[in-house]
Structure 1
Amino acid sequence: MARAHINGIGIDYDMQGEGPPLLFIHGLGSCKEDWEAQVAHFAARFRVISFDLRGHGASDKPAGPYSMAQFANDAAGLLHALQIESAHVVGISLGGAVAFQFAVDYPGLVQSLTIVNSGPDATVRTFKEKLAIWMRNYVVRRKGMAKLAAMIALRLFPKPENRAERERFIERTSRNDPQAYLNAFAALIGWSVAERIGGITCPVLAIAADQDYTPLSMKEAYVARIPGARLEVVNDARHALPMEKPAQFNAVLERFLAT
């Protein structure tokens, strides 16, 4: 593990392997440890960088508010600190949204873009969505991160054979500072770069789990708006796809990066 001073805060990161730079961006309430199976697989051929977003993991947790542009700027600052001119960028969930923001704000830093179970828009449109946001805030403030982690884990890893992954998720998510978590959550709600994604010119792959709680139709719609982008669906999988089915996920990503 290493640490870089970026935009006035400490960002914790890990870098392994040699070759083309490959940057992984984790999801809300997660950390760089979520990418362990990908780091182990890709470090033989890539210079793999994973890091903790501000407010997450071992990175600093400054007072909010946070913003998606700020997260993207931190990622750009990390690449500059590591003297990396550009990287293949992979993001899941919140990390996928950060990756979209990164690609439209810093196109010269992105060799290719892989979006996992995410999209370019988090606009709140329905009462059901508003209720879900209220409920998550309520659970974090009144019940704590451990309760939220246990609730989410059952949706992400429902199968008995994924018990170890479920327990790791609960342990990692429970570590979160509640206010920093809510700051990051608030940064995502209402955010959108949907009107800018048509200008992305690097190769783009969207990877979707068939049982993800973000609709496949949404992913099909935004992929159609990005020139040359393509979508691959992994069956019998859920939101935390890289952890739930690492072999299948790594194979899909490896095929994309090879082209």
Structure 2
Amino acid sequence: MRFTAPAQQTGWIERPDCRIAYQKVGAGPPLVFAHGLGGCFMSWWQQVAHFAPRYNCISFSHRGFWPSSAPPEGPDPAAYAADLAALVDQLDLGDIRLVCQSMGGWTGVEYALLRPGRVKALVLAATTGTLDPQQMRQLERDRLAAWAAESATTRADLGQRRIHPAAGATMAEAQPALHLLYGQLDALSAGLDKEAVRARLGASRTRPPAALAAAGCPVLFVPGGRDIVIPPFAARAMAAELPDAWVAPIPAAGHSGYFEHAAAFNALVEAFLDGIE
């Protein structure tokens, strides 16, 4: 049988203050991908190619991230969930499965709470979104200060070696081509003040972990064992406070396990989706 590539569609949705770019690939139940601070809709190339034979894969670029536009005051993560809602409505997707990494977790958690019961499955990869690690149970909170100090030291060292902290030293050393590509994708949004976005993300991390239960959806946390951006131990602490949550770590991964160890990441997500369908 001759291979036929899955159908593709690219487009835009118009928001009151910006335009959001998206791409659809494949056919089947809708599977939406929300990228992190260092990415754009193209960051999910290894996931879209894998899942498109079974799912209608929709990836998009958050406001302000290439090639989407930004309002004059810069992108505010408080608008991310409403942007996703507009995309879901314009494409008439209905209930969705949602895979989020890092910053995308802010979108995912808030969208799931905005539309309870409308998210069939939520994957939070290297992220807790708006769920506040400072409101974890005491044992994990006690670990935060030491982890943060070690993380800051590691990030400073990586900066001196021109290694992207969201990629990590292992990716840079073992998979230099992937590290290069990661940096190139990040640079597409080089005009964006990412430190301002990072500050807004931090300020909006206010929800107690148990608050996500109101979304009424199963949740899979996929932490990277070597993550220096989001504390990997936060995943288990938060999952313990939710009625329908699992944790599937990738021990060898840094902050971007979906990019660094795509086959392992895809297998975890696929097993999760198969288990709830």
Regarding TM over 0.5, the answer is yes
- In structure 2, relative to structure 1, the CA distance for the partners of 1:226 and 1:52 (3 Å cut) is same
Secondary structure, counterpart of 2:203 in structure 1? coil
Match of 1:61 in 2: 70
2:179, 2:58 → 1: CA distance? 24
Deviations 1:148-198 (A, max 9, x none): 974426626545331111101111222324444234223201222326213
Which residue, out of 191, 198, 201, partners 1:185? 198
1:182, 1:148 → 2: CA distance? 20
177-186 or 40-49, which moves further after superposition? Answer: 177-186
Conserved? CA contact 1:18–1:45, under 8 Å: yes
1:13, 1:149 → 2: CA distance? 31
2:98, 2:161 → 1: CA distance? 29
Aligned residues: 248
Match of 1:237 in 2: 253
- In structure 2, relative to structure 1, the CA distance for the partners of 1:223 and 1:97 (3 Å cut) is same
Matched AA of 1:222 = M
Structure 1 stretches of 5 or more lacking a match? 140-145
1:154, 1:257 → 2: CA distance? 26
Match of 1:201 in 2: 216
Which residue, out of 23, 27, 45, partners 2:32? 23
Match of 2:269 in 1: 253
- Please report how far the alpha carbon of residue 35 of structure 1 lies from its aligned counterpart in structure 2 after TM superposition: 0.3
Conserved? CA contact 2:12–2:21, under 8 Å: yes
Conserved? CA contact 1:38–1:250, under 8 Å: yes
Match of 2:183 in 1: 170
Conserved? CA contact 1:200–1:227, under 8 Å: no
Which residue, out of 100, 106, 115, partners 1:97? 106
32-41 or 108-117, which moves further after superposition? Answer: 108-117
- Please report how far the alpha carbon of residue 78 of structure 1 lies from its aligned counterpart in structure 2 after TM superposition: 0.4
Conserved? CA contact 1:122–1:189, under 8 Å: no
- In structure 2, relative to structure 1, the CA distance for the partners of 1:179 and 1:57 (3 Å cut) is closer
Aligned-residue CA RMSD (Å): 2.8
100-109 or 83-92, which moves further after superposition? Answer: 100-109
Match of 1:218 in 2: 234
- Please report how far the alpha carbon of residue 240 of structure 1 lies from its aligned counterpart in structure 2 after TM superposition: 0.7
Conserved? CA contact 2:34–2:59, under 8 Å: yes
Does residue 12 in structure 1 map to residue 18 in structure 2?
no
Secondary structure, counterpart of 1:222 in structure 2? helix
Match of 1:155 in 2: 168
- In structure 2, relative to structure 1, the CA distance for the partners of 1:230 and 1:178 (3 Å cut) is same
* Identical-pair percentage: 27
221-230 or 19-28, which moves further after superposition? Answer: 221-230
Conserved? CA contact 1:56–1:181, under 8 Å: no
1:63, 1:127 → 2: CA distance? 38
Secondary structure, counterpart of 2:264 in structure 1? helix
- Please report how far the alpha carbon of residue 79 of structure 1 lies from its aligned counterpart in structure 2 after TM superposition: 0.5
2:74, 2:133 → 1: CA distance? 18
2:200, 2:161 → 1: CA distance? 19
TM-score, with length taken from structure 1: 0.85
Which residue, out of 53, 59, 75, partners 1:50? 59
Conserved? CA contact 2:64–2:71, under 8 Å: yes
- In structure 2, relative to structure 1, the CA distance for the partners of 1:123 and 1:234 (3 Å cut) is closer
- Please report how far the alpha carbon of residue 219 of structure 1 lies from its aligned counterpart in structure 2 after TM superposition: 1.1
Matched AA of 2:222 = I
Matched AA of 1:92 = Q
Conserved? CA contact 1:197–1:225, under 8 Å: no
Does residue 116 in structure 1 map to residue 125 in structure 2?
yes
Which residue, out of 8, 28, 32, partners 2:41? 32
1:147, 1:6 → 2: CA distance? 40
